Amino acid sequence: MTSASPTTDREPVVATIAFGSNLGPRESHLHAGREALAKTPGVEFLRASGVYETPPVGPSGQGPYLNAVVRVRTALSAPALLQLMLTIERERGRVRAAVERWSARTLDLDLLLYGEQCIAERDLIVPHPRLHERAFVLVPLCDVVHGERHPVSGRTFESLLAEATDREVIVPASWQFGDPLPRQ
């Protein structure tokens, strides 16, 4: 079981996390990641986007991704939340290879937003630096952040999505959070 300790006396923040999977039982990986977050002390699940199937970005030969976005309220600091997310990824069999960027993965969790904060640390940049370029993130993000603005550009996420050139290849998946897991 994943555990993390919230920083005491910290005001809760709404954080937005992208989920992706294109290896193994993709639905099970997304479900387990969501459940692990929701069961962590100091993290309260708020809502989830729809789940979308998208073509892979990166090396050829990969299967399609399932992508979604969840919002949580958390007392964890952004670095502590990131460490929790990395732990959940490892528990689902994620291996981070330094050699090949954008390789296939069992579970990929990215911290997109942490309140309206802008964070630039060695291992953590929030908002996610490529958030505004990726329709596979913007489509599910727009399911959960109605009218909100990107903390750096000040533009609504819907306006960023309207400019995305690859949004037509993103389709709702046959499985959604809350559905029974498919037989593997």
pLDDT tens for each residue of 129-148: 888 888 999 999 999 999 99
| Residue 36 contacts residue 52 (beta carbons within 8 Å) | no
Percent of the chain at pLDDT > 90 equals: 60
Of residues 61 and 114, more confidence is placed in 114
Of residues 40 and 91, more confidence is placed in 40
Structural domain tally of the chain?
1
In a domain, 100, yes or no: yes
Q: What is the pTM of this model?
A: 0.89
Residue 30 pLDDT more than 70?
yes
Residue 66 pLDDT more than 50?
yes
Q: Residue 80 has which token pair?
A: 């502590």
At residue 63, the pLDDT reads: 86
Look at residues 72, 68, 69 and name the one whose alpha carbon lies nearest to residue 84. Answer: 72
d(CA 10, CA 22): 35
In a domain, 87, yes or no: yes
Specify the DSSP class assigned to residue 62.
P
Query: Any idea which residues carry the catalytic annotation?
Result: 94, 105, 108, 110
In a domain, 181, yes or no: no
Inter-helix orientation angle 26-38/78-91, to 10°: 140
The CATH number for 123's domain is 3.30.70.560
Query: Rg (Cα) of the chain, in Å, rounded?
Result: 16
In a domain, 174, yes or no: no
Buried b (16+ CB within 10 A) or exposed e, 24-54: bbbbbbbbbbbebbeebebbeeeebbebbbb
In a domain, 173, yes or no: no
Model pLDDT for residues 84-129, shown as the tens digit of each residue: 999 998 888 766 665 456 666 889 899 999 999 999 998 899 998 8
d(CA 73, CA 114): 10
| Residue 54 contacts residue 65 (beta carbons within 8 Å) | yes
| Domain coverage including residue 38 | 13-129
Torsion angles phi and psi, residue 102, rounded to 5: 65, 30
In a domain, 41, yes or no: yes
At residue 117, the pLDDT reads: 93
In a domain, 30, yes or no: yes
Model pLDDT for residues 145-172, shown as the tens digit of each residue: 999 999 999 999 999 999 988 777 889 9
Residue 180 pLDDT more than 90?
no
At residue 92, the pLDDT reads: 84
At residue 76, the pLDDT reads: 95
In a domain, 63, yes or no: yes
